[in-house]
Amino acid sequence: MIRLHSLTRRGTAVEQNRREASNGAYSVMRIAATTGAFGIVFAFCTSMVAQPGPPQQRDATIFPMTPARCNDMKLHRVIKPGAPVGCERLREVKFGYFGFDGQTHVDGEVVVLDAVAGHVLQIFETLRRRQFPIAKARSMDLYNGDDEASMSDNNTSAFNDRAIAGGGRISIHAFGLAIDINPIQNPYVRRTDRVLSFSPKAGIAYVDRTNLRPGMAEAIIDVFSDHGFNIWGGDWHNPKDYQHFQVSRDLAYQLARASSSVAASLFEHELNEYQACIGASTIRKNSDRKSCTHGGP
């Protein structure tokens, strides 16, 4: 009989202390803006009456890191001395998303490497259009860079300057080239002998991956792979990291070493090669995605 336990990565969360970047922001794509409604017709007279509508949705945008925003990340241990990429190479992607409550939320944000920011924006735009539910996507500043706290809060996140779970080599999250989505629905699972450990603990409810439910990553593997995040932790043998999507480790190092413009061109080249490989398959299968992916995690 397999016993089920929880697995802790590290740390505790603190309250959010962040500022909206107001200078140097540039808009990439307008989602929508909806306000108000038309009025009611009464006998003998007509008047326009404003009616409550859905929350106004802010534009999906990509922001460069301001000095103030960078200092906040350092203060909250999201970026540390010796990080593989500096603030000048990071971008904050803000977006709307479809929640588990059936409503559209406008406070989504993740931090990623500049070379992939446009594609990350498209990923979350596609998830919103598909009405794939996301619990929340908040700054890692809120959690003091504590991955376990973020996961326990079911927070979708990207950049975080840390090592991989269990210690050892640096995580691809430290390059801004990995995204964790809905950690409770998509937990990190490690097997030791006949014991399964889950992080976050609530992820134990999603141990059966054949019972597909809203928010589970199996439904959106294609969305991430179509935009260059074609390594999925759910494919790994042990541990399995169902929440985790990333580029290859070799590509991460190449993008970090290159200038912003060269990195963007390199990423597009790798993506075009992958899409050409996938396009050559008559029936798109999981095995095709893996065989068309160069490099490992």
Q: 101-126 b/e with 16+ CB inside 10 Å = b?
A: eeebbbebbbbbbbbbbbbbbbbbbb
pLDDT tens string 150-209: 999 999 999 999 988 766 789 999 999 999 999 999 999 999 988 999 999 999 999 999
Confidence (pTM) = 0.80
Q: How far apart are CA 159 and CA 180, in angstroms?
A: 10
- The verdict on residue 165 lying in a domain is yes
- The verdict on residue 109 lying in a domain is yes
- The verdict on residue 54 lying in a domain is yes
pLDDT of residue 23: 40
Q: For residues 33-43, give the mean pLDDT.
A: 38
- The verdict on residue 16 lying in a domain is yes
pLDDT of residue 55: 46
- The verdict on residue 296 lying in a domain is no
pLDDT of residue 43: 35
The residue among 6, 16, 15, 11 whose CA lies nearest residue 148 is 11
- The verdict on residue 27 lying in a domain is yes
Domain of 265 in residue numbering reads as 3-291
- The verdict on residue 192 lying in a domain is yes
Distances (CA, A) of 166 to 10, 13, 158, 163, 193: 9, 19, 18, 8, 17
**More confident call, 235 vs 15:** 235
pLDDT tens string 145-161: 999 999 999 999 999 99
Question: Is there a contact between 96 and 106 (Cβ–Cβ < 8 Å)?
Answer: yes
- The verdict on residue 228 lying in a domain is yes
Residue 49 above 50 pLDDT? no
Total count of domains within the chain: 1
Q: Strand 45-46 to strand 41-42: parallel, antiparallel, or no bridges (unpaired)?
A: antiparallel
pLDDT of residue 294: 78
